[in-house]
Amino acid sequence: MAKYVIIGNSTAAIGCVEGIRSKDKDGEIVLIASENHHTYARPLISYLLQGKTDEERMKYRPNSFYEENHVTAKLGETVTKLDPEKKTVTLKSGEEIPYEKLLVATGSTPFVPPMEGLDTVPEKFTFMSLDDAHALESVLTKDSRVLIIGAGLIGLKCAEGIKERVKSITVVDLADRVLPSILDETGSAIVKDFLEKQGIEFHLGDTATKFAGTTATLKSGLTVDFDVLVIAVGVRPNTSLVKDAGGEVRRGIAADDTGKTTLPDVYAAGDCAESFDISAGVNRVLALLPNAYMQGNTAGINMAGGKASFDRAIPMNAIGFMGLHIITAGTYDGETYVHRDGENYKILFYKDDVLKGYILIGDVARAGIYTALIRNRTPLSSIDFKLICEKPQLMAFTARTRRDLLSKQQ
């Protein structure tokens, strides 16, 4: 019997392997993943299309990772069933693999909404995986007119990745602004204006209702002709294995701060699982690379008999679009401090003597200080908050608080 089985091969899964090996150097680990690729960093697929990286540099760990950590990697294999009573997982091939401890790190899947005539579109893609990037790349030419449905993170990163390789890009979204899940109205307007200056066309507050070959009809009645369609309206956590096995699933798989699900000896981590967001005080899916790693690493330590908890999860995004940098974190609740200078924008949200969240666009220097304040729930009355608002620096903290902040960031 394999002592540990991990379903998945991305950030959370790798964190789990390293968590297990920090406590158990010899126990058998079997890792199963549908994608037939060495572990890689998904956020880099837009840079691959830009030519700023290659598949070798996209690898999340060295080629020797599986061998050095004594991992049996079953890549290109799909788990179709989890049986918590027999303590087995079943592969699409019919093979059953027993486990003592199991991690479900199945990630998420692009959501493709039902749209009339979508089946008539000859070249349509999603944009979440390395295979997606290769498939899209194979049809792009300098004359391609690309229509992207979705002005969120995935849609805009796709636009960035292909901008210099195509004739035109049109982005359509039902929301009335870009990046609506992570930016306020002012921040969205800054990013939209910047991207429009790069030649990207937007139709916001609108949506595609019908396709006929390479023509999309929008809700407003406008028609858009295109050669290539990218659907990037969102993702859905892959929770069915746990749900079908009788485990608790909400928006994501329910897991405590040790990674345990409601099924015995079954853990969950990453984009398929919920975390407790300390900035908002609620359980939610936080589909973010650092959180996925920490959640997976915590689960691995506990699976191997150690004791660990992941109790400092917050929403956080660090991204860039064509040279414009954006960092956001936490929850947008409470009073605000706002400063804007051209494309540089800062808004801090604070309530009950703690920093709740922030948005930085353009100048993102020293964002880590704001992040530490949120994670550590540092009382704002204990620091020079006015100085922190204007110019984040450690000198605004007492000597003791500086020591605490630095030690907690290790």
| 325-408, CATH topology level | Enolase-like; domain 1 (3.30.390)
| Measured CA distances, 40 to 57, 137, 243, 306 (Å) | 9, 18, 27, 27
Same fold, 112-233 and 325-408: no
pTM of the predicted structure, to 2 decimals: 0.92
Give the confidence band of 410 by pLDDT, cuts at 50, 70, 90.
Answer: very low
Of 296, 380, 305, 349, nearest to 104 by C-alpha is 296
Q: One-letter amino acid identity for 163? A: K
Is the pLDDT reported for residue 355 higher than 90? yes
Is the pLDDT reported for residue 407 higher than 80? no
Strands (E), 194-305: 201-204, 208-212, 215-218, 223-225, 228-231, 235-237, 266-268, 274-277, 282-285
**pLDDT (tens digit, 9 = 90+) per residue, 241-275?**
999 999 999 999 999 999 999 999 999 999 999 99
Q: According to DSSP H, which parts of 105-214 are helical? A: 130-137, 153-162, 185-197
Query: Domain residues of the chain, as ranges?
Result: 2-108+236-303, 112-233, 325-408
Mean pLDDT of 58-84: 97
**pLDDT (tens digit, 9 = 90+) per residue, 161-219?**
999 999 999 999 999 999 999 999 999 999 999 999 999 999 999 999 999 999 999 99
* 112-233: CATH superfamily: FAD/NAD(P)-binding domain (3.50.50.60)
Mean pLDDT of 344-369: 94
Mean pLDDT of 312-323: 91
**pLDDT (tens digit, 9 = 90+) per residue, 24-57?**
999 999 999 999 999 999 999 999 999 999 999 9
Which of 132-136, 203-207, 235-239, 385-389 shows the lowest mean pLDDT across its residues?
A: 385-389
| Residues above pLDDT 90, as percent of the chain | 86
pLDDT score for 388: 85
pLDDT score for 9: 98
CA angle 265, 266, 270 (to 5 degrees): 145
* 2-108+236-303: CATH superfamily: FAD/NAD(P)-binding domain (3.50.50.60)
